[in-house]
Structures are given as C-alpha cells and as structure tokens.
Structure 1
Amino acid sequence: MDFPTRRIKDSYEQFPRQMKVAARWLVDHPTEVALLSMREQARRARVPPATLTRLAKRLGFNGFDNLKEVFADSVRGVPESFGGEELLARGEIAGDGVLICDTVNTLQGHLSRLAQPSAIATLAAAADLIAEAKQMFCIGRRLSFPVAYLMHHLGSLLGSPTTLIDGMGGTSDDALRSIGPEDALLAVTVSPYTRFTVQAAEFAVSRGAKLVALTDSDLSPIARSSQVVIRVRTEVPSFIHTMTPALAAIECLMELIAARRGHCALKALAANEEHLAGFDSYILNSGVSTNSS
C-alpha cells in the first residue's frame, strides 16, 4: 500500500480538483478502498466513478480493480458519518442508547490508534522537536482552538516559553512577528481547514521555524510542509466531527515533553502551584467549613 500512497502524495498538487478529492479518499480510507465497490466509494467520496478510474490509471494501474488489490491487506474499521436527516432517522429507529454507544465505540477505536507504534514514534518525534525549540507557538481556529489552547496551557505549566495565537483584537499577525529558526509552531486544523491556520503555517516555515501539524490527513494543507504530522481521526457516526482524539494526542505529547524537561518541568509545576495558592485560585476542600463563626 505504500507505493500508491507515496505516489499520490508526490503528485497530489498536479491532480485536477476532483482527482484530488478522490486521492484523499484513497489515502484516508484504505480499508474502504479494499472492501467497497468502486461505485460505493465514488458515492462516499462524492466524485463520479470515472474519476476513480482515471486516478488509478494516472497512478500506473490498468484500472481501479488493480489499484484496489493493493489496498486489500489494509483492514481497519472506519465509522460511517451520517447527515442530519440520516441521524434523526437512526435515532428514531435505534434509540438514544445505540447512538451514544456507536459514538463511544468509535472514539475508543480512534484513541487506541494513539498507542500504535507508528503513532508513538510520531508523538516522540514531535516531543523532541518541541522540547528543543526556543519558543513554542500554538494556533488553532474554531473547533481546533481548544486543542491549541490546551497545548499552550500545559506548555506554560511546564515552564516552556509558549505563545498562543488567538487573534484577540485582530492581532494574529502580530504574534508571529518574532518567530524564527529556533522556534516551533504547532498548527491544528482539520477539514474544512481554516485559512489563517494554513497561512500561519506557511509563514512560520518561510521564517525557518519547525512546523508540527496536528491534522486529519497526510494530504492536509499544513501536512506537506511540516517536519512532523500527528494525524488524528475525526469521524464519528454523526453530522459533526470529533476533536477528542486531537485533545488526547496533546495530552500524550505533553507527557513526553514533561519527561524530556525532567526536573525543570517539576520546578515549573511547583512554582505554578505556589503562584495559584498565593491567589487562592481553587477551592481545595468541598466539605463543610470548619469555621465556627
């Protein structure tokens, strides 16, 4: 399967628009490529069946069936996404419990991928890169913002110089002014990709900064120029996509960074606890007050 996938990645920018859509389907859904008919794959990818045939021939195969055979060894379960009307109908027929169980089971599958050797190696490479950076920048827009914020927050707790590009007052561009070759940018975006996140990633790379992409596809606009691509699944049996795997990936990543920072991380955490205690930030005892007055 590496052969067609690698060729797709190398040639992706030269493909026509619809062929790009079909190519992404192949890269992101190898199990469906192996198991489903060409017509059903075309329906799910939202391209004409002829586009899949033309793509197969462009990749050097006689037809789509020959390309499909290459993917046959890759078998993995990928949940079906439902539109709004389909979701309502499924809820009426199957009930609330089935909808919830389907989503939870899907999330369990997504999260388990983070424990696979390839994902562990990717997270370790990202941790090495970030731990060595002079300054860490984080960006994520819309539904990806909580993921970027979590990275910024945990990085700050560990004493890592971290800047969140949140754009308050229209200052997004200003936050990137100082980025340079000794810095790293964590960019978070999944389909549909936010324009400014892609622009920020391109700008950071142009300034020599290292780019870590947290995204949903190896063909994502931020993946192609990044040093490390942390890929997460976003499909759930619903009309929305999930960011739960992305949040979990950040938590795993920060555990690795904390281990690399060692005693420096412990000192930073202790200093942060002391600071919060000084401001009486948290209610640490939820029981009844012992104050006799």
Structure 2
Amino acid sequence: MDFPVANLIKDSYERFPRQMKVAARWLVDHPTEVALLSMREQARRARVPPATFTRLAKRLGFDGFEKLKKVFADSIRGGSESRVGSEEKLLVQRDVEGDGALTIKALHGHLSELAQPSTIATLTAAADLMVAARQILCVGLRSSFPAAHLMYYVGSLLGSPTILIDGAGGTANDTLRSIGPLDILLAVTVCPYSRYTMQVAEFAVSRGAKLVALTDGELSPIAKLSEIVISVRTETPSFFHTMTPAFAAVECLLELIAARRGSCALQVLEANEAHLAEFDTYVLRAPRASRKF
C-alpha cells in the first residue's frame, strides 16, 4: 500500500533496530489488520513485544500507536470500503469456523491480489524481460525451491533457456560462471530469506544480469537489488507460511511467456510430448486443450 506513512516507513526501514524492522514490516504488509486489530494482537502476530509498536509509532513522529493506527484506518477507508468489510468478516470468522477455514479464505485473499492491475503490469514486465533474455537462471531454497523449479521445468518445456541453480554434487555456483548482462535471474525468497539466494542475487547483479525477485514485499532485502519485484503474501493463521501465491505468480509468468513465444512454444511442447511418449512416461494421456498464442 502506498500512502505517506507507508512510504515514510519504507524510507526509514534500514535505520530501524531489528525488532522494530519486524514491526515495520507488519505495518506495511498488513495495512487492513493495522486498522482493525488491537496493538497487542498485532504484536502477537508479528511476534514482537507490544512496546515495539509504541516505540515505532514515536519513531515515526506519532504520540502513540493509536494515532498511527488511525492514519492507517483513514487510508484504508479512503481506498476501499469493501476491503475493510471483507477483512472484518474474515477476522470474525476465525472464532466461528476455526483456522482451517480461515486459511482457505486467507489464500483466496492473497491470490486475488495477483489480479490487481499493478501486479498484472509487474508480471507482464517480468515476462517481457524473460522472453528477451539469453538465459533465465532460477534460484530458490527450502520452501522457495518448488516455485523456482516450476519456473525452470515448465519454462524448459516451452523452449525457454531456463537453468536451475540446484547444487547437486556441490556444483551450484558452476551455473553462475557465464551469467552476464544478457541474462535474467529469477530469485525466489521469503522471510526469513536464504543467505545463499542473497549471495547469488548480489553476484548476478554485479555481473550485469537483471534480477527479478519473487518475494514477500518491498521491504524484503532482495528487493533493493531487483529490476522487478513481484510481491506475494505468505502469511497464514497456521504456524507455517504459504507459498501458494508464489506458485500462482510463476504460473502466470509462464502463461505470459508462452503467449509471447507463440508457435515456437507449441512446437517445443509437441516435441517434448513425443519424446515422453517414446518412453511411455504416463499411464494416461491427458486431453490437450486447444491453445491460441
């Protein structure tokens, strides 16, 4: 969300102490919850002491957290009454339906944000860069690995020059040997952020490659290195985060790339299908949907 206080937090973020950074990220990433929830509940969810929010508010020039909360509430109401109403319902339903149902509703909300015009424009710009690239290197560790692998695997099926920075046999860094200004690095990382992914990103940028970051917000440490930042939400009511929006973002990227590659993508897909058929790879053959690129 962009309004004066959020921009002030972003501008000052690097100067905050560690716990205050956690609280600041909560404010920027959850503006509706800031407007609706008590300070103690927000502190519980952000996993910092409530006093941290009070100190942050004063650091930003407010008398206390309630004054800061009012600014968020006014901005939310000015931007979207309907969203406030839906978020209020979501918070009430936690007690009625339990966290399982609320997780599904949270995912629905996260995915709907990918349909916003600003996100679509970002995905389109990233796809344009990737189609023009000499090679697309993909990196992501731990829970971020499947999204990076999906980009590599399906991208290769479409004939895109995708390379996975994997590390089998300790060879991960070998794939970076040829990276340069004509290349793209897609880096997937979310809080608490992979140190190795950051190192790869810094190296790629130092070689002139363009960085597309798939991460959990503009305050992610990888964002400041990036040509394009694709922001996805990861929080759930559970004890683990979700990578579902990251998967959806990659699938959108792949669809955009396929559309841009047009008949070339279809030819490569047909060749791949023929190759898999030679090895009798699948038990059942899925019906092919007709596609127009």
1:120 equivalent in alignment to 2:136: no
Matches within 5 A, 1:223-262: 223-262=223-262
Deviations 1:152-209 (A, max 9, x none): 0111011111110011111111111111111111111111211111111111111111
Return the alpha-carbon distance in structure 2 between the equivalents of residues 127 and 285 of structure 1.
Answer: 29
Larger radius of gyration: 1
* Partner of residue 55, structure 2: 54
Q: Secondary structure at the residue paired with 1:214?
A: strand
* Partner of residue 177, structure 1: 177
Deviates more, 1:233-242 or 1:195-204: 233-242
Matches within 5 A, 1:58-137: 58-72=59-73, 73-74=75-76, 75=84, 77=87, 100-137=100-137
* Partner of residue 84, structure 1: none
Deviation at residue 64 of structure 1 after TM alignment: 2.7
Deviation at residue 99 of structure 1 after TM alignment: 5.1
Letter in 1 for 2:223: A
* Partner of residue 151, structure 2: 151
Letter in 2 for 1:77: E
Deviation at residue 285 of structure 1 after TM alignment: 5.8
Return the alpha-carbon distance in structure 1 between the equivalents of residues 116 and 27 of structure 2.
Answer: 21
Rate the CA distance shift 1:241–1:59 in 2: closer, same or farther, 3 A: same
* Partner of residue 10, structure 2: 9
Deviation at residue 283 of structure 1 after TM alignment: 2.8
Q: Secondary structure at the residue paired with 1:224?
A: helix
Letter in 1 for 2:255: E
Deviation at residue 217 of structure 1 after TM alignment: 2.1
Output the TM-score relative to the length of structure 2.
0.85
Letter in 1 for 2:207: R
Deviations 1:209-229 (A, max 9, x none): 111111112211212211111
Write 1 or 2 for the structure with the bigger share of helix: 2
* Partner of residue 21, structure 2: 20
* Partner of residue 271, structure 2: 271
Return the alpha-carbon distance in structure 1 between the equivalents of residues 141 and 181 of structure 2.
Answer: 24
Deviates more, 1:27-36 or 1:149-158: 27-36
Deviation at residue 62 of structure 1 after TM alignment: 4.0
Q: Secondary structure at the residue paired with 2:224?
A: coil
Return the alpha-carbon distance in structure 2 between the equivalents of residues 142 and 175 of structure 1.
Answer: 19
Deviation at residue 281 of structure 1 after TM alignment: 2.2
* Partner of residue 291, structure 1: none
Return the alpha-carbon distance in structure 1 between the equivalents of residues 132 and 23 of structure 2.
Answer: 38
Letter in 1 for 2:213: A
Letter in 2 for 1:256: L
Letter in 2 for 1:40: E
Deviates more, 1:249-258 or 1:49-58: 49-58
Rate the CA distance shift 1:25–1:285 in 2: closer, same or farther, 3 A: closer
Deviation at residue 263 of structure 1 after TM alignment: 1.8
Deviations 1:96-155 (A, max 9, x none): x85543332222222222112122112111111111111100011111111111000111
Deviations 1:63-122 (A, max 9, x none): 333322221132363978xxxxxxxxx9xx98xx85543332222222222112122112
Return the alpha-carbon distance in structure 2 between the equivalents of residues 127 and 29 of structure 1.
Answer: 28
Q: Secondary structure at the residue paired with 1:193?
A: coil
Return the alpha-carbon distance in structure 2 between the equivalents of residues 11 and 234 of structure 1.
Answer: 23
Deviates more, 1:3-12 or 1:245-254: 3-12
Return the alpha-carbon distance in structure 2 between the equivalents of residues 148 and 30 of structure 1.
Answer: 29
Q: Secondary structure at the residue paired with 1:229?
A: strand
Percent identity, aligned pairs only? 70
How many pairs were matched up?
A: 273
* Partner of residue 204, structure 1: 204
Return the alpha-carbon distance in structure 2 between the equivalents of residues 268 and 143 of structure 1.
Answer: 29
Return the alpha-carbon distance in structure 2 between the equivalents of residues 100 and 4 of structure 1.
Answer: 33
Return the alpha-carbon distance in structure 2 between the equivalents of residues 37 and 184 of structure 1.
Answer: 43
Return the alpha-carbon distance in structure 1 between the equivalents of residues 22 and 3 of structure 2.
Answer: 19
Q: Secondary structure at the residue paired with 1:234?
A: coil
Output the TM-score relative to the length of structure 1.
0.85
1:30 equivalent in alignment to 2:31: yes
